[in-house]
Amino acid sequence: MLNETSGMSVTAEVPLTMAIDNRTGSGSRVTPLVSFAVMDMFSVVNGFALTSIISIFGIFTNTANIIVYCRMGLSESSNINFLALSVIDFFVSFITFFLKLFFSSYLRQLSTGPVTFMISNSLGPAMLVAVGGSALMTALISTERWFCVVFPLQVKTFLTARRVLYLIFADIAYMTSFLTAFYSAFGAPPDGQIERQGVYYFWFFAVPSATSFFIVVLTTIFLVVRLRKSLEWRRETSSQSEKSSDKENKLVRTIIAISTIFIICFFPNVMNLFVQIIHPPFRYLDPYLGSLTIVMFSISGVFQAVSSSINIFFYYKMSSRYRKTFSETFIFLKGKVSDKN
């Protein structure tokens, strides 16, 4: 999806399924910076093998998270947030796996290649919307915890569980409205009207995702700086027990860990976007830099798959209640789980 007005590609993975192949599309004799053999190797290794394996893992881990948090109940806003993030990350992993599977060079060589290519082409917008939704959800979680640190006494008044649900529904509405508008305008699979598609992706994916990224960066830095001082203040002025303080401490550390992984894994995608803004030829249809662009976004795709798959480790390590519910749910692991705080 290219914004031809600015010469900028604004997506992470979809252009891999929709851009014209430079080897046959323009007849240009420009030698690409990265050879097509190297580009194909990265597409197979990163785009298909690594990303698909990680996405399968993410399907299982997020399914486990959804089951565990449903069993834990939704009386706490943190459980609601982590459940919503797990649901969105499940869709990221699920859609990414099938997009990569159907776009693999092996399937394209079969007689069903045109069909699988059409399917992967149709899944592209859904994957980007899910990625954007995951970014918005992570920003919501980190921002909510920022409010808890800055306004520890007032936060329960203006940030109730119902209002948190409204914000989550707003995230879902964003994803639904984008897909509805996009498929209504271009159909499935989307074809042609590249300039209009670029406008859709810029405002519905690039802008929200980049904004969420910087929100998470700022709130995470703030949480890291203020965490110890805030917790000491709570112990001195609050009637909460030491056990409650430890629970709050672990919750904040969990959010910091999730946000840090998000920042690390989303950084390559944001950098690619800003490089495209600064240097417009860095796009998929450029005969010289097009293959390099595909390689760089195949790398960022691996990072994105990791980000959507590994939160279970932080939930399990930081929350004794999560560990207990997890062991009770998956009985075959019961004897191997420690319930130490």
pLDDT on residue 226:
73
> What's the burial of 71, exposed, middle or buried (CB within 10 Å: 0-12/13-18/19+)?
exposed
Contact 13, 301 (CB under 8 A): yes
- For residue range 198-234, list pLDDT tens digits in order: 788 888 788 888 899 999 999 999 888 876 666 566 6
Does residue 192 form part of some domain? yes
Contact 272, 300 (CB under 8 A): yes
Instruction: Tell me which residue has tokens 């959800």.
Output: 137
More confident residue, 189 or 108: 189
**Positive or negative torsion for Cα 124, 95, 65, 53:** negative
- What's the average model confidence in pLDDT over 319-332? 84
Neighbours of 217 (CB within 10 A): 19
Query: Omega into 189 within 30° of 0, i.e. cis?
Result: yes
pLDDT on residue 296:
84
Does residue 66 form part of some domain? yes
Which range among 133-147, 156-170, 179-193, 243-257 shows the weakest confidence by mean pLDDT? 243-257
Does residue 18 form part of some domain? yes
What is the band of 59 on the pLDDT scale with cuts at 50, 70, 90?
very high
Give the CATH number, domain containing residue 176: 1.20.1070.10
| E-only strand ranges, the chain | 2-3, 8-9
Q: Which residues pair with 9 in a beta bridge?
A: 2
Does residue 48 form part of some domain? yes
Does residue 91 form part of some domain? yes
Domains: count for the chain: 1
Does residue 8 form part of some domain? yes
More confident residue, 261 or 175: 261
The amino acid at 180: T
Across 79-114, b (16+ Cβ under 10 Å) vs e yields bbbbbbbbbbbbbbbbbbbbbbbbbbeebeeeeeee
Does residue 183 form part of some domain? yes
Q: Which range of residues forms the domain containing residue 278?
A: 2-26+34-336
Looking at the predicted structure, is the pLDDT value of residue 294 above 70? yes
Q: What is the pTM of this model?
A: 0.81
Does residue 341 form part of some domain? no
CA distance 3 to 21: 17
